[in-house]
Amino acid sequence: MIEKEAVVIFVGDVVGPSGLRAVFAHLPAFAKKKKADIVIANGENAQRGFGIGKEEIEALVSSGVDVITSGNHVWERKDAEELLGSTSVLLRPANYPAPLPGRGYGVFKGRNHSWAVINLQGREDLYPIDCPFRTADEIIARVKREQPDAFIVIDFHAEAAEEKEALAWHVDGRASVLAGTHTHVQTADERILPLGTGYLTDLGMSGPLDSVIGVKTDICIQRSLTQIPIKMETSENEASVCGAVFTIDTATRKCLKIERFELK
């Protein structure tokens, strides 16, 4: 019997060792309870706040994560290029210039369904990379042509709510889900757009609770007081896991339900 619904769990930016521990502690049981077909997590800050390495990828995979998306911080490790070129589970934003290594999207096998996961990055208050809107158009067209069965899910790693909402409306009806990452603060604006795309501006952070977006509070206060770029250090204390569960109608590919979560 074909299931009428398919569930994707989307986890926001995992920050440092405490974020990884929280994911390991909470995600497996939660994914089982929600009968997730696939689990996606943004791992751009998994390695002590900046980038991701082999160990962090293994930690996320052993916590039940099927696909790791990323963003601007993924390039900060020396071996990022090698990792991106060799690790199929790790994506980087598709709209970085072409010669860079890694994949910006992939089609992954879930428990019962295929999922095309597309990673894009915004340009407002970030880097002037290629256009995420046109890149989305190209990749969606390719997926629909080559792997029409796959449900399309987008991680839009961006700063500006305006840009995130605009891209969601742009892909409405063509993607089942568009979820934002990067700000580390979960928004409460989940909604299903008229043609069926499930949208949330930001999934939030999976990282230390007593922190400023994952960074030690005293460092952030001093940075603000002095306007000096004091080196950021990831905070280490109890962490929560933030994200959202999207339920998709397998016949229409429309999103039926969005539930935000914070696990701790």
**Residues near Fe ion (CB under 5 A):** 13, 44-45, 71-72, 182
**23, 89, 127, 163 from 61: Cα distances, Å:** 10, 9, 29, 30
Nearer residue to Fe ion within complex by CB, 119 or 247: 119
CB of 71 to Fe ion, least distance (A): 4
Identity of the residue, 63 or 121, whose beta carbon is nearer to Fe ion in the bound complex: 121
What SS3 class is residue 64? Answer: coil
Measured CA to CA, the distance from residue 205 to residue 219 in angstroms comes to: 19
* DSSP for residue 70: -
Strand partners, 157: 121, 181
Classify residue 199 by burial, with Cβ atoms within 10 Å: 0-12, 13-18, 19+. Answer: buried
In angstroms, give the least distance from the CB of 122 to Fe ion: 10
Signed CA dihedral, 258, 65, 28, 12: sign only = negative
Q: How far is the CB of 88 from Fe ion (least distance, A)?
A: 22
Retrieve residue 81's tokens. Answer: 């290029």
Looking at 73, 113, 157, 182, which residue is catalytic? 73
Rounded (5°) CA angle 159-101-16: 50
The structure tokens listed for 220 are: 């952030």
Nearer to Fe ion, 11 or 36 (CB): 11
Q: Is 113 annotated in the active site? A: no
6 or 118, CB closer to Fe ion? Answer: 118
Q: Tell me the C-alpha distance between 164 and 179, whole Å.
A: 8
CB nearer Fe ion, residue 66 or residue 159: 159
Q: Which amino acid is at 146?
A: E
CB of 53 to Fe ion, least distance (A): 16
> Alpha-carbon distance 247 to 9, whole Å?
9
Report, as residue numbers or ranges, the catalytic residues: 73
